[in-house]
Amino acid sequence: MGIFTKYFLPNEYVQSIYTIKPEHLKEKNIKAIITDLDNTLVGWDVKDPTDEVRKWFEEMKENGITVTIVSNNNEDRVQTFSSTLNIDYIFKAKKPRGSAFRKATSLMQVNKSEVVVIGDQMLTDVFGGNRNGLYTIMVVPVKKTDGFITKFNRLIERRFLNYFKRKGYINWEE
């Protein structure tokens, strides 16, 4: 596997956050989650956590897994969503740059080997997590619609996904 695969291939690819179970994470010695917000937890246009999202966060908390939202979105968007869950967040994260990933890891007081990054974008979440030596799980986007920059990223991402499928590195259907 080359540099391309090292940085852009997620460790896992799943249908949604709901397929990520605390037992599975604990088997990998994961104690903390850095998760994206838009199109990972809810659609980019959904203001508040759904009951299902709340239940997932509670399940992680009950199992001793800390979650921090790291989003490239603005403070109002990320703070409004995160405050009702009573969790830490980082807004305008500038992913895939590493500072937000390091800050979140430090906030949660864990080693990077104990952190998983969960997100729907290969060019921000997976690339940023992999570059920083973190375990990465990519989810299928919650919504099919995106903002302009994300639409561009998805075009590139689609080529990467097709390449990984052809090479047999991943095996999934959207």
Taking CA atoms, 88 is separated from 2, 9, 162, 168, in Å, by 35, 27, 35, 37
Could you read off the pLDDT of 149-168 as tens digits, one per residue? 666 676 777 778 778 888 87
How far, in whole angstroms, is CA 74 from its chain's centroid? 17
Could you read off the pLDDT of 67-113 as tens digits, one per residue? 999 999 999 999 999 999 999 999 999 999 999 999 999 999 999 99
Positions of E strands within the chain: 12-14, 32-35, 66-70, 89-90, 115-119, 135-139
Pick the more confident residue, 54 or 167. Answer: 54
Which among 109, 110, 90, 108 is positioned nearest to 100, based on CA atoms? 90
CATH class of 3-167: alpha beta
Domain extents in the chain: 3-167
pTM of the model: 0.89
Structure tokens at 68: 């921090």
How many Å apart are CA 5 and CA 151, to the nearest integer?
22
Residue type present at position 53: V
